[in-house]
Amino acid sequence: QVQLVESGGGLVQAGGSLRLSCAASGLTLRRNTMAWFRQAPGNEREFVGTIMWDGGRTYYGGTVKGRFTISRDIAENTVYLQMNSLKPEDTAVYYCAAGFRGSPYGEATQYNFWGQGTQVTVSS
pLDDT digits (tens, 9 = 90+) for 48-60: 999 999 988 999 9
CB–CB of 66/51 below 8 Å? Answer: no
**Whole-angstrom distance, CA of residue 58 vs CA of residue 60:** 7
* Torsion sign (Cα): 102, 6, 9, 70: negative
CB–CB of 36/59 below 8 Å? Answer: no
CB–CB of 61/53 below 8 Å? Answer: no
CB–CB of 79/72 below 8 Å? Answer: yes
Would the pLDDT of 102 be above 90?
A: no
Q: How many residues does the chain have?
A: 124
50-92: per-residue pLDDT in tens?
Answer: 999 998 899 999 999 999 999 999 999 999 999 999 999 999 9
2-11: per-residue pLDDT in tens?
Answer: 999 999 999 9
Q: Residue 29 in 3-state DSSP?
A: helix
The mean pLDDT value of the chain amounts to 96
**Whole-angstrom distance, CA of residue 107 vs CA of residue 69:** 19
